[in-house]
Amino acid sequence: MASIHQTALVDPAASIADDVEIGPFCQVGPDVVLDKGVKLLGNVVLTGHTHLGENTVVHAFAVLGGPPQHLGYKGEDTKLIIGKNNTIREHVTMNPGTVSGRGQTVIGDNCLFMAATHVAHDCIVGNNVIMANNATLGGHVIVSDFVFMGGLSAVHQYCRVGIYSFVGAAALVTMDVIPYGSVIGNHARLEGLNIVGMKRRGTSRQVIHDIRAAYRLLFAREGTLQERIEDVTSMFSHSKEVMTIIEFMKADSSRALCTPRG
């Protein structure tokens, strides 16, 4: 049987696994689903069609599933889906999707959302993502696996942030960030590759060498971008990591690519 503090307000229609722990002064709405191992540590508000995956832990004053901050939202039954093994710290806010967008906001597994981070409507956040204090995602943003966002950073609506990339503290991202890229500044520009992150994840020296060489060619001044993409595709077709960058750059997007300064 779930452990529910006597001061918590839990709607009887909510779906709650037997071993869930709900601390003091929490509020859980009727359309909330809490999978096994979920812990709400106190003063947590869960509302709307919100689903928390196994072993996710939510700290005080987080508000998950509140109405999207979107003038077009008229109370539709859109969703917030949060995966397994996530840590959601104090004052975090996450909104569900909108009918004009994806209809749902989706969070992957094994993520850390530090205090006061915000995930807006219709975002997709991958696995093993870290958002440091006060980092913010605008609506419709896609954040891939293993991304690190520094404190006070922000990503403009509809941008994409590629796998293993790094967004520096207080950076304002208004364009797409390539996989393995490192961006800083306001407005953020590409400052190189997230070599530290790759090494921490055990990426081999050869793979790092290939990504570095491809990066230099892709952002060289000679030729057009399309010509450079074709050259890199030909030279590094053996490298799935480089091909991940190429596929990201070739994909349809409403945003331009974040490029180096100068």
Task: Tell me which of 51, 59, 118, 121 is the catalytic residue.
Answer: 121
First to last CA, the chain: 61
Angle of CA points 12, 15, 21, to nearest 5°: 90
User: DSSP string of 16-78?
Assistant: E-TT-EE-TT-EE-TT-EE-TT-EE-SS-EE-SEEEE-TT-EE-TT-EESPPPS-TT--S---
Phi-psi region of 61 (alpha: psi -120 to 50; beta: other; left: phi over 0): left
Give the tens place of pLDDT for each residue, 142-171.
999 999 999 999 999 999 999 999 999 999
Task: Tell me which of 139, 150, 168, 181 is the catalytic residue.
Answer: 139
State mean pLDDT over 172-181.
98
Which DSSP category does 255 fall into? S
SS3 212: helix
19: annotated active-site residue:
no
User: Could you give the percent of the chain with pLDDT greater than 70?
Assistant: 100
139: annotated active-site residue:
yes
Q: Is pLDDT of 262 > 90?
A: no
Yes or no: say if 125 and 159 are a contact pair by the CB < 8 Å rule: no
What pTM did the predictor assign? 0.97
SS3 244: helix
121: annotated active-site residue:
yes
Task: Tell me which of 31, 109, 122, 176 is the catalytic residue.
Answer: 122
Give the tens place of pLDDT for each residue, 65-89.
999 999 999 999 999 999 999 999 9
SS3 173: strand
